[in-house]
């Protein structure tokens, strides 16, 4: 079996030489560079693309075996975006378990912390797999070599461009300048040549360019495949492009992109919680990872397991952010029973402690996209348009039957009044995003891009400093590159 070179970034980039480290073994069914270099088959291409989704999975131990300190037991989005923010605590009961998570929470982490390390490795492993897939799919002779149809080739290539953009979106929004690696790396010399950080604007430009390619390649339908509804759809490429424009403050580009989504079949669900329990039959979920129980290889939602150990609890400030009778509060977290309902995909504790749970991980949903549009409209002076969207989100919430099966009382979540003050509307938007998208890995990224993270965190007694706007490049990666990779300022 081919294994990955055991040096920092190169673990995620190259598969050249053998080593016996169990943390770097190839997963079952992974397409290797050696296979790609021989005559490819349709099966090789299909596997190369499908395996590239896996790094978005909440399955446990994808890249290691209980490597807690290295941040590799599960994806660290909940730690770096929710626990680090003012929304979430590590556990319901304070203890000394996994102190590296406490360091993230308290902003006392260093460049050796497992949180950023895991984020980096997950994303670059996904990119490594996609580089193999994209090289195969862009071979001008691939159809004659394999017999793959043009339609299938285009669909798989559209999926691959989206996924590579998604992984780079995570990297650039958390680390800033990062290595931009767009081809398989096959030698040590190449590895050192590409292990150089490029300007974040170049990374953003590449993300946007590949998302344009993706949306043009994917089928013009809500689902790319009626039999495999988990695959990246056209709407996901459009939505992530809108989000990339939002994050780079190209406000005027956002509304028209979001406006393309309803024609593909997206709208708000009647019930807020449906997005977290349904299986590809709702109106709102644009992109999610398809978790399945009893699959081989395992595909369950492993993040439900640490919930059984007491991990992931709401802060008091988050609970207090909800207005009276807002159904979204209990749908997000049941304090009395210590159940994070939104993460469990249930209202009765089902899936808690289950490392092979079936509930999907939602990455993009229409309510989020609508609030991007509202933000962009507010920034460009259309305050009335922004308020109308905020009120649309509030209306859905107040007309949702709550987790106890009751309709919220009259007067719940009243519409925001008319205003021409940008700051007032922005504050309404900030509040709405917090309660609508709580525990969905958005809060810290929002606070940082709004430029208010230091103010908010320090008001909660956290040691947030300007350097914390970006996470540190993992020190192991810098050491492995012999200094070719540079560190973010302040670490």
Burial of 34 (0-12, 13-18, 19+ CB in 10 A): exposed
Q: Quick one: pLDDT band at residue 19, thresholds 50, 70, 90?
A: very low
How does pLDDT run across 79-115, given as a tens digit for each residue? 999 999 999 999 999 999 999 999 999 999 999 999 9
- Structural element, H or E, at residue 456: helix 453-459
On whether residue 149 sits in a domain, the answer given is yes
Q: What percent of the chain has pLDDT over 70?
A: 92
Q: Residue 257: is its pLDDT beyond 50?
A: yes
Q: What is the mean pLDDT of residues 204-233?
A: 97
At CB < 8 A and 24+ separation, what contacts does 429-432 make?
Answer: 429/371, 429/374, 429/375, 429/378, 429/386, 429/390, 431/321, 432/371, 432/390, 432/393, 432/394
pLDDT reported for residue 1: 29
Q: How far is CA 320 from CA 25, 317, 323, in A?
A: 45, 5, 8
On whether residue 245 sits in a domain, the answer given is no
What backbone torsions phi and psi does residue 5 show, to the nearest 5 degrees?
-55, 135
Q: What percent of the chain has pLDDT over 90?
A: 89
On whether residue 240 sits in a domain, the answer given is no
pLDDT reported for residue 32: 61
Q: Quick one: pLDDT band at residue 16, thresholds 50, 70, 90?
A: very low
Q: Residue 27: is its pLDDT beyond 60?
A: no
Parent domain of 273: 250-450
Number of structural domains found in the chain: 2
- Judgement on whether residues 466 and 446 belong to the same structural domain of the protein: no
Q: What is the mean pLDDT of residues 214-237?
A: 97
On whether residue 439 sits in a domain, the answer given is yes
How does pLDDT run across 31-75, given as a tens digit for each residue? 666 656 678 999 999 999 999 999 999 999 999 999 999 999 999
For residue 356, what is the DSSP state?
T
* Distance between first and last Cα of the chain: 37
pLDDT reported for residue 186: 86
Q: Residue 28: is its pLDDT beyond 80?
A: no
- Judgement on whether residues 191 and 265 belong to the same structural domain of the protein: no
Q: What is the mean pLDDT of residues 321-331?
A: 98
CATH number of the domain residue 464 falls in: 1.25.40.390
**Domain limit, last residue, from 450, 466, 482:** 450
Q: Quick one: pLDDT band at residue 23, thresholds 50, 70, 90?
A: very low
- Judgement on whether residues 324 and 404 belong to the same structural domain of the protein: yes
Q: What is the mean pLDDT of residues 346-353?
A: 97
CA separation for the pair 259, 369 (Å, rounded): 9
pLDDT reported for residue 473: 98
- Judgement on whether residues 187 and 271 belong to the same structural domain of the protein: no
- Judgement on whether residues 126 and 156 belong to the same structural domain of the protein: yes
- Judgement on whether residues 390 and 469 belong to the same structural domain of the protein: no
How does pLDDT run across 147-157, given as a tens digit for each residue? 999 999 999 99
pLDDT reported for residue 278: 78
How does pLDDT run across 412-445, given as a tens digit for each residue? 999 999 999 999 999 999 999 999 999 999 999 9
On whether residue 85 sits in a domain, the answer given is yes
* Beta-ladder partners of 25: 3
On whether residue 166 sits in a domain, the answer given is yes
- Judgement on whether residues 178 and 61 belong to the same structural domain of the protein: yes
CA separation for the pair 432, 425 (Å, rounded): 10
- Judgement on whether residues 306 and 201 belong to the same structural domain of the protein: no
- Judgement on whether residues 457 and 445 belong to the same structural domain of the protein: no
On whether residue 235 sits in a domain, the answer given is no
Q: Residue 22: is its pLDDT beyond 60?
A: no
**Contact between residue 215 and residue 241 where contact means Cβ atoms under 8 Å apart:** yes
Q: Residue 12: is its pLDDT beyond 80?
A: no
pLDDT reported for residue 31: 62
CA separation for the pair 168, 181 (Å, rounded): 10
- Judgement on whether residues 131 and 2 belong to the same structural domain of the protein: yes
Taking residue 352's Cβ as centre, other Cβ atoms within 10 Å add up to 21
- Judgement on whether residues 307 and 211 belong to the same structural domain of the protein: no
Provide the CA 141 distance to its chain's centre, in angstroms.
34
On whether residue 279 sits in a domain, the answer given is yes
pLDDT reported for residue 106: 97
Q: Residue 24: is its pLDDT beyond 80?
A: no
- Judgement on whether residues 398 and 487 belong to the same structural domain of the protein: no
Please tell me whether the overall predicted TM-score, pTM, comes out greater than 0.75 for this model. yes
Q: What is the mean pLDDT of residues 215-219?
A: 98
Q: Residue 233: is its pLDDT beyond 90?
A: yes
């Amino acid at each position: 079996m081919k294994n990955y070179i055991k040096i920092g970034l190169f673990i995620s980039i190259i598969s050249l030489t053998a080593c016996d480290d169990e943390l770097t073994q190839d997963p079952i069914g992974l397409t290797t560079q050696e296979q790609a270099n021989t005559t490819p088959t349709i099966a090789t291409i299909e596997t190369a693309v499908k395996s590239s989704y896996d790094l978005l999975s909440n399955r446990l131990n994808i890249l290691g075996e209980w490597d807690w300190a290295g941040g590799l037991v599960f994806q660290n989005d909940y730690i770096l975006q929710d626990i680090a923010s003012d929304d979430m605590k590590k556990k319901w009961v304070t203890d000394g378990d996994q102190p590296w998570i406490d360091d993230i929470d308290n902003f006392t982490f260093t460049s050796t912390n497992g949180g950023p390390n895991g984020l980096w490795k997950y994303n670059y492993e996904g990119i490594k797999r996609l580089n193999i897939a994209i090289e195969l799919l862009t071979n001008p002779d691939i159809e004659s070599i394999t017999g793959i149809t043009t339609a299938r080739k285009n669909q798989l290539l559209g999926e691959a461009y989206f996924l590579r953009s998604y992984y780079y979106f995570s990297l650039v929004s958390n680390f800033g300048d990062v290595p931009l690696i767009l081809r398989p790396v096959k030698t040590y010399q190449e590895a050192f040549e590409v292990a150089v950080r490029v300007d974040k604007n170049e990374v953003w430009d590449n993300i946007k360019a590949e998302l344009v390619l993706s949306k043009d390649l994917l089928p013009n339908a809500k689902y790319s495949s009626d039999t495999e509804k988990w695959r990246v759809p056209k709407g996901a490429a459009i939505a992530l492009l809108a989000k990339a424009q939002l994050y780079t403050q190209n406000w005027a580009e956002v509304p028209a992109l979001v406006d393309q989504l309803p024609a593909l079949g997206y709208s708000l669900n009647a019930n807020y919680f449906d997005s977290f329990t349904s299986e590809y039959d709702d109106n709102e979920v644009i992109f999610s990872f398809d978790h399945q129980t009893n699959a081989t290889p395992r595909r369950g939602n492993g993040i439900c397991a640490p919930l059984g150990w007491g991990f992931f609890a709401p802060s008091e400030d988050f609970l207090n952010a909800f207005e009276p009778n807002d159904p979204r509060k209990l749908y997000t977290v049941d304090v009395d029973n210590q159940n994070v309902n939104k993460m469990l995909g249930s209202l009765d504790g089902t899936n808690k402690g289950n490392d092979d749970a079936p509930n999907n991980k939602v990455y993009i949903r229409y309510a989020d996209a609508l609030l991007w549009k509202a933000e962009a409209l507010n920034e460009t002076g259309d305050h009335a348009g922004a308020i109308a969207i905020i009120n649309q989100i509030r209306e859905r919430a107040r007309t949702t039957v709550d987790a106890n099966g009751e309709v919220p009382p009259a007067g719940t979540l009243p519409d925001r009044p008319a205003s021409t003050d940008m700051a007032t509307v922005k504050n309404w938007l900030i509040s709405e995003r917090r309660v609508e998208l709580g525990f969905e890995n958005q809060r810290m990224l929002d606070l940082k891009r709004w430029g208010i993270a230091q103010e908010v965190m320090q008001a909660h007694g956290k040691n947030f400093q300007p350097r914390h706007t970006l996470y540190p490049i993992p020190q192991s990666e810098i050491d492995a590159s012999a200094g070719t990779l540079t560190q973010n300022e302040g670490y």
